[in-house]
Amino acid sequence: MNTVFLKPAAIERKWFLINAEGKSLGRIAAKAASIVRGKEKASFAPHQEMGDFVVIINAEKAALTGRKREQKVYYRHSGYPGGLKTIPFAAMAARHPAGPMEAAVKGMLPKGPLGRKLLKNVKIYAGDTHPHAAQNPQALEL
């Protein structure tokens, strides 16, 4: 049996549109990460970038369950002693409305060069307009 490896030029890429309004932030992020990674294709290979493009609109209107709006905190560290920074969900959403969705998708992608490359294939917008109409994205219902 031979394993088939596709060349980057032979990979057929599609565009998908997800409307996040009223839907769970985590479920949308998981679906977007799966599509961008290419896990829904029969030719999936974990080391290749073979996934599709995803456009997420209305990211600021994604739903959170429980008391996450008040309790969720995002962390980052400068690398120096005492360099831990914390940002509450409300502050992040106020400063950058699409930030929580970006953080959720980024956390579900592989770490390293492949994950950073795949993150560029996810386009997240806080409002309901996006500049990717020319790609004719296919709407996904979750």
- Give residue limits of the domains in the chain: 14-64+97-140
Encoded amino acid at 86, one letter: T
pTM score, whole prediction? 0.93
Q: Determine the Cα–Cα distance for residues 134 and 127; give it in Å rounded to an integer.
A: 18
Amino acid letter at 44? F
CATH code for residues 14-64+97-140: 3.90.1180.10
Question: What confidence tens digit (pLDDT) does each residue in 45-69 have?
Answer: 899 999 999 999 999 999 999 999 9
User: In 69-132, which ranges are E strands?
Assistant: 73-77, 84-88, 122-124
3-state secondary structure of 54: strand
**Is pLDDT at 1 greater than 90 in this prediction?**
no
DSSP 111-122: SSHHHHHHHTTE
Residues 124/56, Cβ–Cβ less than 8 Å: yes
pLDDT in tens, 65-122: 999 999 999 999 999 999 999 999 999 999 999 999 999 999 999 999 999 999 999 9
